[in-house]
Homo-oligomer: A and B are copies of this chain.
Amino acid sequence: MRRRDQPSARPAVGRSGHVTIHQVADAAGVSIATVSRVMRQTETVRADLAERVRGEAAKLGYQPNAAAQGLATGVTRMVGVVVPNLANPYFYDIIKAMNAEASVDGYRMLIADANEDPAEELELSRSLQRQVDALVLVSPRMSVDTLRELENQARPVVLVNKATIGVGLSSVSVDNHSAMLELAGHLAILGHTHAAYLAGPEQSWQQQERWRAIAQATAFGLRVTPIPAGASIEAGYAALDAALELKPTAIMCFNDLVAFGALSRLTELGVDVPGEMSLTGFDDIAFARFARPPLTTAVSPQRDLGRLAWRLVVQVLAGERPAQQPLLPIPMVVRGSTAPPADRRTAESLPVGGG
């Protein structure tokens, strides 16, 4: 079948069913270039023409096709976001804050779930990189070498919660080390001398930093034994019994989720918190404040993280090379889940599990 020859024999809508720039141009009696100029408000167009174009565009419900714009300009207005686990509330707070900022700048988020698998993380990052303007890796589990590979790709990468030296990527992170040290110090001051630590995922930078701090706590008299757990409620619940066998007077947890699971099991076993066992979390997710007893934890500023991450993206996109961000401080908040160990408090009344 031969194409028709009539100059303006254009279908009312394009193949995809959307109104295109051509229909608007025809309706307004101008060229597509003028429509483009009006829409992007980048160049000056005679007032009445502009008004007419705007009118027709509104009437037809025209909105530019993002893919075509992306092709033409090389800018997709999308950021890729890779998280280790789409079921963890901690990441959602970051995502939510980042998304709020990004959408103000007209950006969309393409979200990918790596399922705690470093290999999948890499694969997702690679394929996402050519679909977006920038990539944000939240708490990536991948190795530094792998990160370095991503660094050399065309699209910029921003890191959240992985402050590694030797990699030139911009990043925002929280000061896990100081915060965990502070929590350990808090327990030491209360009089605890032996605690268990329900550890997080091994590849996690946060886990490494937190454990590094805990290991140093021996310096002020707190000996801490690690127990592999994970990053979820279930992990904390499951690992608690093993921790109890160590007969500690306190249990420190990788994060609030783990602490919540541990608390659940402790309550179930009839172990009084903080009477017989002190408990600390990390992150201060919403549940921490409402747990009973409320959790002593470290207030990781997820929303600031999200906001700052977006700011970094903007800077990197603008061609700037942001200075290495300082680590965000994490204030400790002491709530009801920690207290002096039983023997310290009740040395003269009721010695429970005395050492």
- Listed in ascending order, the chain A residues whose CB lies under 8 Å from chain B are 13, 15-18, 63, 65-68, 70-71, 74, 76, 78, 86-89, 92-93, 95-96, 99-100, 103, 108-113, 126-128, 130-131, 153-155, 232-234, 237, 260-261, 263-264, 267-268, 286-287, 290-292
Evaluate contact between A287 and B286: CB separation under 8 angstroms: no
One of B15, B88, B108, B263 near A110 (C-beta < 8 A): B108
- Contact flag A86-B78 (CB < 8 Å), given A290-B260, A292-B292: no
Which residues of the other chain, B, contact A113 by a CB distance below 8 angstroms?
96, 99-100, 103
Evaluate contact between A154 and B110: CB separation under 8 angstroms: no
Evaluate contact between B292 and A264: CB separation under 8 angstroms: yes
One of B88, B103, B154, B264 near A291 (C-beta < 8 A): B264
Shortest 5 CB-CB contacts between residues of A and residues of B: A17-B154, A264-B290, A67-B70, A267-B292, A86-B96
Interface centre among A103, A154, A155, A290 (most CB of B within 10 A): A290
Evaluate contact between A108 and B99: CB separation under 8 angstroms: no
One of B128, B237, B264, B287 near A260 (C-beta < 8 A): B287
Task: Give the docked Cα–Cα distance between A207 and B96 (Å).
Answer: 24
Evaluate contact between A15 and B74: CB separation under 8 angstroms: yes
| Assembly stoichiometry (copies) | 2
Which residues of the other chain, B, contact A263 by a CB distance below 8 angstroms?
292
Query: 15 extra interchain contacts, Cβ-Cβ under 8 A, other than A16-B154, A109-B112, A264-B291?
Result: A13-B154, A15-B74, A17-B153, A18-B154, A65-B130, A78-B110, A86-B92, A86-B96, A86-B99, A108-B128, A111-B111, A233-B286, A233-B287, A264-B290, A268-B292
- Contact flag A66-B96 (CB < 8 Å), given A78-B110, A237-B290, A292-B268: no
Evaluate contact between B110 and A109: CB separation under 8 angstroms: yes
One of B15, B63, B93, B128 near A87 (C-beta < 8 A): B93
Q: Which residue of B lies closest to A286 (CB)?
A: B233
Q: Which residue of B lies closest to A86 (CB)?
A: B96
Evaluate contact between A111 and B99: CB separation under 8 angstroms: yes
One of B130, B234, B290 near A63 (C-beta < 8 A): B130
Evaluate contact between A87 and B76: CB separation under 8 angstroms: no
One of B15, B70, B89, B233 near A92 (C-beta < 8 A): B89
Task: Give the docked Cα–Cα distance between A17 and B133 (Å).
Answer: 12
Task: Give the docked Cα–Cα distance between A267 and B260 (Å).
Answer: 16
